[in-house]
């Protein structure tokens, strides 16, 4: 909370491979839960540029067919390693990448169908994101 003067606007990506499996990564920043790749939007960067950059930095993957899913926020949640006020812009997208190169924000990753993802240890915002995507029929169970 200290030092934050306004909400941090971030992007997140539900990434699907050609088998319609969803990519999730385990992050120490989110209490070792599985989450989607994403992060803040830099000044002068478009939302789509930020999404592509964050995915590439965190996973090494390129994405396409980007579709907006919804907005949600997290206000000083104890699920994140620092208490912050976030506004999440959540997107679904596809990748044909077969190789994943995690950066230091993640310790492991999985490819699972969305319904299976809900059985994993995931943070509440990621759970809501997946459920919303399934509800919209953007992703299949």
State the Cα–Cα distance between residues 76 and 99, nearest whole angstrom: 34
Tell me how far apart the 2 most distant CA atoms of the chain are, in Å. Answer: 43
Residue in 20, 50, 54 with CA at minimum distance from that of residue 36: 54
Burial class (CB in 10 A: 0-12, 13-18, 19+), 21: middle
Written as six digits, the tokens of 17 are: 């491979």
Residues labelled catalytic: 108
**Do 7 and 39 touch, CB atoms closer than 8 A?**
no
C-alpha 4/C-alpha 10 separation (Å) is 14
Residue 133, by phi and psi: left (phi above 0), alpha (psi -120 to 50) or beta?
Answer: alpha
């Amino acid at each position: 909370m200290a030092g934050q003067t306004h909400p941090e606007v971030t992007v997140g990506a539900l990434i699907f491979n050609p088998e319609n499996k969803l990519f999730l990564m385990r992050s120490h920043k989110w209490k070792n839960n599985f989450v989607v790749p994403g992060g803040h939007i830099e000044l002068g960067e478009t939302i789509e540029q930020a999404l592509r950059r964050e995915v590439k930095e965190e996973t090494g993957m390129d994405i396409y067919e980007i579709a907006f899913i919804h907005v949600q926020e997290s206000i000083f949640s104890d699920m994140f390693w620092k208490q912050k006020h976030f506004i999440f812009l959540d997107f679904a997208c596809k990748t044909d990448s077969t190789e994943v190169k995690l950066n230091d924000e993640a310790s492991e990753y999985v490819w699972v169908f969305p319904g299976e993802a809900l059985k994993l240890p995931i943070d509440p915002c990621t759970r809501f994101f997946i459920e919303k995507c399934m509800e919209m029929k953007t992703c299949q169970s």
